[in-house]
Structure 1
């Protein structure tokens, strides 16, 4: 009897209210894949450590997969719950690849008295922005957030990256600006920066700004870097020139964004067959 599981992998969070976004994704996965074991893994060791002190145990991807294997799960989808195919995603690629090679030499599974060793099938689902269609769907997904007033700017703020995949943000920003004249994308760590966003805002006669995190959850970065009380928080920096409203809502709180992740899980699940 084949045992199937889905492992959702994300960076993680210590912000209790932000986990509601993860639960929204989890609930939808359970609806679409009823009866399949569903688990989470956090890639951030520091976050797992903080949660462990609170009595909350979350596995790393390697530990989660080892646990599933030990419990007899043979067909497993690992789904990247990341925005871009950056360092976190490629670390996950390596984990899945190495676990897949436990099948043995030349693809043959080791045999023992208790059965086959290793997963029979192990697949990996893509992050939010991977294929061109993903970008196009994300652009369409934010339509309801775009202010009707052309002088009211929507500024989406992602985490950013120093991985070569930082170009994802520039590509999406270009697609957004071609679709919506009053939407700008920036990042906290990388390009486009806050300086770039300020320059983009100054090129047009914007009268007010709404900030929205372009992150799966409204966690620590959204709370502190966007809406914090420090002078360098984005809302305080931009408030020097515009009235600013900050919407602390993660991407996973939007049904149409969740559906993109569900699509990627479906694609990975189909490879199990």
Structure 2
């Protein structure tokens, strides 16, 4: 990502709006990561209005009380763009997979387009738009593994989990990782402590896989845009049900590396590439412009 004051990567006409839609977090460290990414996007596209939006309240029925760095919903961000007189808006998803929250982003963009307030609306897809992205994302993840890791050490990567087709996308990523490195394991959160305690839980299967590999040391890495509560509590926390707790009790030394994907330059570039594509499509002259451009 370019630092403030550097030339823009692509030319985006002034007067275009950019909405950065992220799950969100209440943790200051995670908020700082999102705010830094937003600043870099604003520096990369001078003349564009950049607004944040959060999606976690929509999926969690509002139980997260503190919104993402002052952001409201995607719908509210579009209302603000209309108030500011912005008529062309690109929404960039900062989600890792095309799951339920990304679907809500697309639906919000479609509502905005149909409202008649905007001449064009584009959506940049998440990190994993489908199984076709799994190989490239796996390569990017493996290149960024800790340099201190030795060949006999394992890596456990935690994803959030999803329902429906997004589960197949995660499975594709897990397969690509294991094909490239037999000691890199990808799994997702169990729904709650009770599920984590079951012998067939996600963390239970992960523990057995690490033990079978012969590794007695494992690096713990989150596969989230930011290292929020799940990374700090469910992955690396001291609780018995955390991945660290379960693996430690099995005699496996755990080394947490708590960086969100937006903190890693290679992954930050992927998200900005998605945004570049959405902006490029939106600014092309089109005879029959669809409701939403690039929503995949």
Name the TM-score class by shorter chain.
0.7 to 0.9
Mapped partners of 2:63, 2:274: distance in 1: 26
Do residues 264 (structure 1) and 274 (structure 2) align? yes
Cα gap change, 1:174 to 1:65, in 2 (>3 Å): same
Q: Which residue of 2 aligns with 1:119?
A: 118
Q: Which residue of 2 aligns with 1:13?
A: 25
Do residues 93 (structure 1) and 103 (structure 2) align? no
SS in 2 for 1:161: coil
How far apart are 1:163 and its partner, in Å?
A: 3.5
TM-score by length of 1: 0.86
Cα gap change, 1:136 to 1:35, in 2 (>3 Å): farther
Q: How many residues align?
A: 256
Cα gap change, 1:250 to 1:207, in 2 (>3 Å): same
Instruction: List aligned pairs for 1:99-110, cutoff 5 A.
Output: 99-103=112-116
Cα gap change, 1:197 to 1:61, in 2 (>3 Å): same
How far apart are 1:132 and its partner, in Å?
A: 5.5
TM-score by length of 2: 0.80
Runs of 4+ off more than 4 Å: none
SS in 2 for 1:82: coil
How far apart are 1:32 and its partner, in Å?
A: 2.5
Q: Which residue of 1 aligns with 2:140?
A: 141
Identify the range of structure 1 (41-50 vs 164-173) with the bigger mean alpha-carbon deviation. Answer: 41-50
Q: Which residue of 2 aligns with 1:170?
A: 171
Mapped partners of 1:192, 1:28: distance in 2: 39
How far apart are 1:211 and its partner, in Å?
A: 0.3
Q: Which residue of 2 aligns with 1:113?
A: none
Mapped partners of 1:68, 1:228: distance in 2: 40
Deviations along 1:173-197, one digit per CA (max 9) or x if unpaired, are 1001111222110111479921221
Whether contact under 8 Å (1:48, 1:59) holds in the other structure is no
Do residues 245 (structure 1) and 255 (structure 2) align? yes
Mapped partners of 2:47, 2:15: distance in 1: 10
Cα gap change, 1:88 to 1:141, in 2 (>3 Å): same
- 2:219 paired residue among 210, 214, 217: 210
Q: Which residue of 2 aligns with 1:68?
A: 81
Instruction: List aligned pairs for 1:53-64, cutoff 5 A.
Output: 57-64=70-77
Unaligned stretches of 5+ in structure 1? 104-117
Q: Which residue of 1 aligns with 2:153?
A: 152
Unaligned stretches of 5+ in structure 2? 1-12, 192-199, 284-296
SS in 2 for 1:95: helix
Do residues 235 (structure 1) and 241 (structure 2) align? no
Cα gap change, 1:120 to 1:21, in 2 (>3 Å): same
